[in-house]
Structure 1
Amino acid sequence: SSETKTKSSERSSETKDLIIDIIKQDPHITAAEIAMQLNMSSRGVEKQIRKLRELGKIKRTGGRFGGYWEIVILDKE
């Protein structure tokens, strides 16, 4: 139903906001560590991170190891 669709997209945008907040606090954090903080699967977190990257909100600088996240666009609130 459209009601569950709205709920999951609301949850996913909340999740994205939480991920951005977590990255702001620790740019060197891993997806697995974010998943533990949010009590989510790392697969779910990686999916959200991929969407954030596609939206141009975050980017990864450096390699897989020793790299860090950069917040590209902060929503004007």
Structure 2
Amino acid sequence: MTEQADTATLSFEQARDELQRVVAQLEQGSPTLEESLQLWERGEALAQRCEEWLLGAKRRLDAARGTDASERSGA
């Protein structure tokens, strides 16, 4: 829960940039399995934060256009 709380204050750009660094570290390989798992968990938390930002931006755009999901799906 600490990682989630830690990421809650990050801007989209901050979360994205850190996620890129985490991915680069994982691609290079970590010295231990534990470090790899910690990086993976951090990456998951950062990816979730980015998704929250993107979904929020989509909702704002939909609201600005006066549309919602039911109108787009034809329901």
TM-score between the two structures when normalised by the length of structure 2: 0.37
From the CA coordinates, give the structure whose radius of gyration is larger: 2
Whose strand proportion is higher, 1 or 2? 1
Whose helix proportion is higher, 1 or 2? 2
TM-score between the two structures when normalised by the length of structure 1: 0.36
Whose RCO is larger (CA < 8 A, sep 6+)? 2
